[in-house]
Structure 1
Amino acid sequence: MTKRQIINANSQFTVAELSGGRLSWPFFPSKIKPFVKGFCLEVPGISGVHRMTYSPPMDAELLSVAVGASRYDSKDNWSVEINGERFIESIYTKDLPEGMYLMVVKPVLTGDEMKFVFDNQSGEPKEVWFNYQFLID
């Protein structure tokens, strides 16, 4: 990756340039093999937060999270954490499956704790299906 300094009248910042016809990591992944891990979270008819934890058995780069549910309510929402850092927060469910594509790849190391958090504000029972889309070596 080549970098050059651009000096503005008020500030200085670094610009990443295209090298070899592609963007630099983390805007473009460094791994090449797709790996998708899917889950089904059984949510009882109780208001509150429900969690499912996953620790990948290999180093990976997270590209996106896809979510669908057997029942949708405008008050329900979901979040994702890695090692306690919440980086997807309070995404309210819509009446369709959805994907959250990240603007950069999110590195996930072997054994990191990924937590899907579903806040069942409606109190209605449902199944929530979600997939983590990764790239691995």
Structure 2
Amino acid sequence: MLSRYLVGGRLDPPFYPTKTRPCIASRRVDIDGLRSLEGKRTVTDTFKISNDLEFFAISIKADVITPADYWSLVVDENVIVNHVYCKDYSEGLYFQVAHPVKGGREFCFEFYTESADRKRIEVSYYFLTDPNVTLRLNGITNQSYDPISLPDRV
């Protein structure tokens, strides 16, 4: 019983990790400024992971904070974070469980904004992996626009 608390309680139930090596991977999502924007746009950062891991936290920080902006995170087609309006979890948003994710699965970070401002979003993912694993995140950032809300182009 005492050994459980030497870790500080982080490994107490219901967390249940099985991997032992901590790993933090960060991605930067830049949003282009648009002078003529009149509608909502979605920026997605999609990547696949190279190895099996356990995902237990995320941190996010935006340099320009607009109250109407929100973000979501989908991991392997499962919504992990849905429509969060806080853009400053720089110390991390820790989950109650470690989410096991198989290698080759997809992470999709979605950021929604109605602002025409240029923004930089820094996202860090906190994982546990097996020893001697060098984790790689392979993917792209895509900026899309709601065609109904964009001004007509001649």
Same fold (TM over 0.5): yes
SS of 1:55 mapped into structure 2: strand
Corresponding residue number in structure 2 for 1:92: 85
> Aligned partners of 1:116, 1:96: CA distance in 2, in Å?
15
Partner of residue 134 from structure 1, selected from 110, 124, 127: 127
Q: CA deviation at 1:76?
A: 0.7
Matched residue, 1:27 = 15
Aligned to 2:150: none
Answer 1 or 2: which has greater strand percent: 1
* Residue identity opposite 2:21 in structure 1: K
Q: Answer whether contact 1:43 1:126 (CA < 8 A) is retained.
A: yes
- CA drift of 1:123 comes to 3.1
- Normalization by structure 1: what TM-score? 0.76
**1:65 aligned onto 2:53:** no
TM superposition shift of 1:23: 4.0
Q: Render the CA deviation track for 1:93-121: whole Å, top value 9, x for unaligned.
A: 34673522111011111000001110113
Give the structure 1 partner of residue 44 of structure 2: 51
Correspondence for 1:113: 106
Q: Considering only aligned residues, what root-mean-square deviation do their CA atoms show, in Å?
A: 2.1
SS at 2:49 equivalent: coil
TM-score by length of 2: 0.69
Pairs aligned (count): 118
CA offsets per residue over residues 22-65 of structure 1, 9 Å max, x none? 645x6221111011110000112353110011211110000101
**Cα distance between partner residues in 2 of 1:132 and 1:89:** 16
